[in-house]
Structure 1
Amino acid sequence: MKPAPAVEPPSRWRTTFNEIIGGSVMISILAVVLAMIAGGILIAVTDENVQKAAGYFFARPGDTFAEIWKAVSGAYVSLFQGAVFNPKRDDFVQQIKPLTETLTFATPLIAAGLGVGLAFRVGMFNIGGRGQMLIAAACAGWVGFTLHLPWGLHMIVAVIAGLVGGGIWAGIAGLLKARTGAHEVIITIMLNYVAFYLVSYLLRTPVLQAPGSNNPKSPPIDSTAVFPDLLGPQFNLHFGFILVIVATVFVWWLLNRSSLGFKFRAVGINPNAARVAGINVKNMYVYAMVISGALVGLAGVSQVLGTVTTGFSSGIDAGIGFDAITVALLGRSKPWGIFVAGILFGAFKAGGFAMQASEGIPIDIVLVVQSLIVLFIAAPPLIRTVFRLPDPTKPKAPKAPAAQTREAVTAK
């Protein structure tokens, strides 16, 4: 009996192709596509005109499909025009303004997403974005309206104060986890409440409250501490966007080019193996949370110095601390992936208001789409099943030629 000839493995190009279409990047893209499709179905189902046309569907089915197309396309066209480019406006400056609004909304999302994503890479769940943003905003805001320094220096001191405040607040969770083994999820959630009520209290005291005001709101930020506009006063895009680009480059360098980043990744993959290799895992937890909190704090700083310069309240975080978790998940905890995901969610925020104003569609639809994105990203097998994608971690065995199969059967 002749031994069956060896079967050639799949080609390198075939393997690369499977890795591309079945990899994490494609899964993230298709998760967004699937969420948009589900959002479109929800828009069509809740549209009044679609419901009326569906009442006589069997008499004139074309009317129903026309109304469905009108509702869904109108919603997503409005979303695009409110987030990227609106050709209906008079001049190019106004036409391109939606894109600048998207980048403005994306600025704190990217910063906070980088912080959450960095913690993910170390195997930690930083759920305390809200508290870290509030503390950072309070520190930066206090410096912004209390100290009277020259332009430029004042802004730098305020930014540093916010980064330090956010880093210390997150460092508490890292220190408790390292020294006592307390779970960082529980600690950061509880610190959210502590920060919220602490800032709320301080906004009713002379520490943060505007003089002569009974409202829990801070004084306006001095102009010397406010982020300058990048494209002029007609746009809301400010210097904070440059800072998040720098932060993205820093996190990329930290994780991929520094020895500390190597230790972070080693601890995130297997803390026990990292400990055996001589890495002080406890210190890595503390360092990671401090840096993570500083990055999330940058989001709070950009809110105070770039967006809400007339004074802030305890709602300054605007839910960004929790949205950052979604951004980090969509970006696969990679710096540039988070950057793109932050811009996408900034587009959702900017375009959602336009969609609501022009088409009367509740902005809650955008929140549903965002939630579905998280759901689909958390279930890659579902995405691969729907779109029939290969799993790069489980390569298929190559099929033997028909002649070889017949020879094997004959030999038996």
Structure 2
Amino acid sequence: MFSNRLFNVLVPIISVLLGLIAGAIIMLAFGYNPIEGYIALWNGAFGSSYFFGETVRQATPYILTGLSVAFAFRSGLFNIGAEGQVFVGWLAAVWIGSSLDAPMFIHLPLTLIGAALAGAFWGFIPGLLKATKGVHEVIITIMMNYIALHFSNYMIRYVLTDGSDTTDRVLPSASLASEWLLEITSFSRMHWGILIALFAAVVVWFLLEKTTAGYELRSVGYNPHASRYAGMNVKKNIILSMVIAGALAGLGGAMAGLGTFGYMPTHSAFTNLGFDGIAVALLGGNAALGTVIAAFLFGVLKIGALNMPTAAGVPSELVEIVTALIIFFVASSYMIRWILLRFKKEEK
């Protein structure tokens, strides 16, 4: 039998391979060459400095939203609200970034803190309702996604501007974009936010694995009743988990506002950054390192797919099918693990 650690490493790798194989079979079934399709996918993600920069740029918010969902998972909570937390974090970052005039060493940290606090507040509400009233966090966070979408649109049109559908651009002192990165990546939209995302992953790993607070959060996630019996404050840890998860997703929104776009437009639909974060966290095994790797995989799939129609004639929708198949096999792996454990018990 595999150890838990080895199992957690092998499962995502096998799931990705099975997803790619299933995707190849689907391509063949529809008359496309899977080898040419995957070569086009690879070249579309890494074939030039521009594509590489875009892949890193796409992965950056995925790291943060994936960490948000994974952190809540480890605490026994399902944060479906990362999408709404992205919206309010994006809005707060652009608001502070475009309205405050200060040196970069003050302005940029303030925008990031503002985005994290906005996301944290959006996570605090479902956390408080869950802890005090027992309201399921999935229901509240789903509803708050829609509130965040329409609230941000209202703020853009009637508070930050006079009826415009986009905010002003953030000032250079609050921007994560870099002329140097633009030059070395052939004017891709890659920005310094990747360093913030990687630093956040290290912080999440350290908090969960090396601190007393992280132990309590994980303990509450495993068994809240036993944790309460052991003297832990379950309500406090539920709220703290959602606050931290919200802050991470809020920073994911800041990556779009301060780096990718430099402003915030109104939206008629969701960005899917938060929803994709659920898949990233699942594929990454709800671990910090696994989430980073999974985020880069999703970045490769999203950006590489853009090259498949032109280079190989394969519809980009097939990449979405491959992504869905990968998640399917990840979910199925838990069924396989359950079956193996049953066999192990029967042998005893």
TM-score by length of 1: 0.78
8 Å Cα contact 1:113/1:328 also seen in 2: yes
The structure in which a higher percent of residues are helix is 2
1:363 aligns with 2:312: no
Shift in CA distance, 190/355, structure 1 to aligned 2, threshold 3 Å: same
Cα deviations by residue, 1:215-243 (Å, 9 ceiling, x for unpaired): 42111111111014385223332110000
Preserved CA contact (<8 Å) 2:208 2:217:
yes
Rounded to whole Å, the distance in 2 between the matches of 1:184 and 1:338 is 22
**Matching residue within 146, 156, 160 for 1:208:** 160
* Cα deviation 1:61-111 (Å, max 9, x = unaligned): xxxxxxx6xx11111001011112x2xxxxxxxx34322221111000000
Structure 1 residue 45 and structure 2 residue 29: aligned?
yes
The alignment status of 1:220 with 2:169, answered yes or no, reads yes
Indicate the residue corresponding to 1:409 in structure 2: none
Q: How much does 1:24 deviate?
A: 2.2
Three-state SS of the structure 2 residue aligned to 1:243 is: helix
Q: Which residue of 2 aligns with 1:229?
A: 178
Question: Given residue 44 of structure 2, which amino acid in structure 1 is its aligned partner?
Answer: G
Q: CA deviation at 1:369?
A: 1.4
Map 1:230-249 → 2, pairs under 5 A: 231-234=180-183, 235=185, 236-249=189-202
**Which residues of structure 1 form unaligned runs of 5+?**
1-14, 51-67, 87-94, 399-412
Q: CA deviation at 1:147?
A: 1.0
Aligned partner of 2:152 in structure 1 is 199
- C-alpha separation in 2, matches of 1:137 and 1:74: 38
SS in 1 for 2:328: helix
Q: Deviations over 1:277-321 (max 9, x none)?
A: 000101000000000000011110000000011443336962111
- Per mean C-alpha deviation after superposition, the further-off stretch among 225-234 and 352-361 is 225-234
* Bigger mean CA deviation after superposition, 103-112 or 363-372: 363-372
- Partner letter of residue 303 of structure 1? A
The offset of 1:200, in angstroms, is: 1.4
Deviation of 1:201 (Å): 1.3
Q: Partners of 1:80 and 1:382 in 2: how far apart?
A: 31
- TM-aligned CA distance change 1:367 to 1:180, over 3 Å: same
Shift of 1:384: 7.3
- Judging changes above 3 Å, is the alpha-carbon distance between structure 1 residues 140 and 320 closer, same or farther for their aligned structure 2 residues? same
- The letter for the 1-side match of 2:124 is G
User: Which residue, out of 57, 73, 90, partners 1:120?
Assistant: 73
User: Which digits, 9 at most, give the CA deviation of each residue in 1:18-72, with x for residues without a partner?
Assistant: 33897122111111111111111222222xxx3xxxxxxxxxxxxxxxxx6xx11
Residue 98 and residue 177 in structure 1: after superposition, are their counterparts in 2 closer, same or farther (change >3 A)?
Answer: same
Aligned residues: 344
Give the partner amino acid of 2:25: I
Whether contact under 8 Å (2:69, 2:281) holds in the other structure is yes
Query: Aligned partners of 1:393, 1:382: CA distance in 2, in Å?
Result: 11
CA distance in 2, matches of 1:107, 1:179: 34
TM-score, reference length from structure 2: 0.92
Name the structure 2 match of 1:405: none
The Cα of 1:152 is off from its aligned counterpart by: 2.7
Code of the residue aligned with 2:143 in structure 1: it is: M
User: Corresponding residue for 2:55?
Assistant: 102
- The 3 A distance-change label for structure 1 pair 309 and 315 is farther
Which deviates more from structure 2 when the two are superposed, residues 307-316 or residues 165-174?
A: 307-316
User: What residue ranges of structure 2 are gaps of 5+ in the alignment?
Assistant: none
AA at the equivalent of 1:226: S
* Partner Cα separation in structure 2 for residue 115 and residue 221 of structure 1: 25
Q: CA 1:260 to 1:182, structure 2 compared with 1: closer, same or farther past 3 Å?
A: same
Q: CA RMSD in A?
A: 2.3
* Matched residue, 1:407: none
Aligned equivalent of 2:127, options 170, 174, 189: 174
Deviation at 1:334, TM superposition (A): 0.5
From 78, 83, 98, the equivalent of 2:40 is: 78
Residues 98/393 of structure 1: CA separation in 2 closer, same or farther (3 Å cut):
farther
Partner Cα separation in structure 1 for residue 142 and residue 238 of structure 2: 17
Distance in 2 between residues matched to 1:359 and 1:115, nearest whole Å = 36
Judge conservation of contact 2:65–2:82 (CA < 8 Å) in 1: yes
Report 1 or 2 for greater relative contact order, CA contacts < 8 Å, sequence distance ≥ 6: 2
Residue 149 of structure 1 is matched in structure 2 by 102
Query: Using the alignment, how far apart are the partners of 2:170 and 2:77 within structure 1?
Result: 35
Q: What is the letter of the counterpart of residue 252 of structure 2? A: A
